[in-house]
């Protein structure tokens, strides 16, 4: 599993679709929002949690079509399916690699980009916590979507249409945690809901992704 994880990390950096692309898109979204809505500090403070969460979600979405496509194209996916390692473990490792190259850099960059949107000081901590809890769910859900569309030509649009509705609960509760934290409100309820969604996706979706891959590889 460690060898597979290191391989996927190397592929993500070499392909250019992980670390750099996600961060660049996240930066572009954050920089362009003040130009679109105006320089009012109070307005930027209000919308900052939602904008940062939406930017992180879309940045994660950018690299999903590469999760399994490269392995499908060179035949590695067939070899992984027949390897002693269970297919459930394979998709879990790939989701972890996606989070390490896309989700984790977004979590680390979010506080710095929050300064550009005048995020209130109490919101920085809860923004990082919400992204740290919520982004793994987006990677696991994205792996499921990639498994559904693997082998399809130009399946990127279909992948987005399948995954975006599944991202909505994570977006709602993640942004709510950051918003409540920024305004000094109680965050326990949305935080527990966000953690529950992440735990459920990690526990269930690898099995669904593996089942879908077995069907597509027949």
**Rounded Cα distance, 118 and 52, in Å:** 11
With b meaning 16 or more CB within 10 Å and e meaning fewer, what string describes 127-140? bbbbbbbbbbbbbb
Give the whole-angstrom CA distance, residue 53 versus residue 180.
13
pLDDT at res. 137: 95
What is the pLDDT, as a whole number, of residue 19? 61
**Stretches in the chain below the pLDDT threshold 70:** 11-19, 154-155
What pLDDT is stored for residue 10 in this prediction?
75
Domain coverage including residue 156? 2-216
Backbone φ and ψ of 76, nearest 5°: -65, -30
pTM: predicted TM-score of the whole model, two decimal places: 0.89
Which tokens go with 106? 């977004």
Tokens of 209: 């992704």
| 129 vs 135: CA distance, rounded Å | 10
Number of domains present in the structure of the chain: 1
8 Å CB contact between 70 and 196:
no
Rounded to a whole number, what is the distance in angstroms from the first to the last CA of the chain?
A: 24
Asked if residue 175 lies in contact with residue 123, where contact means CB atoms within 8 angstroms, the answer is no
């Amino acid at each position: 599993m460690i060898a597979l994880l290191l391989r996927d990390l190397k592929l993500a950096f070499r392909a250019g679709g992980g670390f750099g692309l996600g961060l660049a898109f996240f930066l572009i979204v954050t920089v362009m929002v003040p130009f679109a809505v105006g320089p009012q500090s109070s307005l930027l403070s209000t919308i900052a949690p939602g904008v940062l969460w939406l930017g992180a979600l879309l940045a994660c979405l950018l690299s999903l079509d590469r999760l399994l496509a490269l392995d499908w194209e060179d035949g590695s996916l067939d070899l992984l399916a027949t390897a002693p390692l269970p297919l459930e473990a394979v998709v879990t490792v790939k989701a972890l690699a996606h989070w390490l190259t896309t989700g984790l850099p977004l979590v680390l960059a979010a506080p710095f980009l929050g300064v550009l949107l005048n995020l209130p000081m109490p919101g920085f901590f809860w923004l990082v916590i919400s992204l740290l809890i919520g982004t793994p769910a987006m990677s696991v859900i994205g792996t499921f979507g990639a498994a559904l569309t693997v082998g399809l030509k130009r399946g990127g649009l279909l992948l987005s249409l399948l995954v975006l509705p599944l991202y909505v609960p994570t977006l709602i509760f993640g942004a709510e945690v950051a918003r409540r934290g920024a305004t000094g409100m109680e965050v326990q309820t949305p935080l527990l809901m966000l953690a529950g969604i992440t735990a459920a996706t990690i526990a269930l979706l690898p099995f669904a992704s593996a089942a879908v891959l077995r069907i597509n590889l027949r």
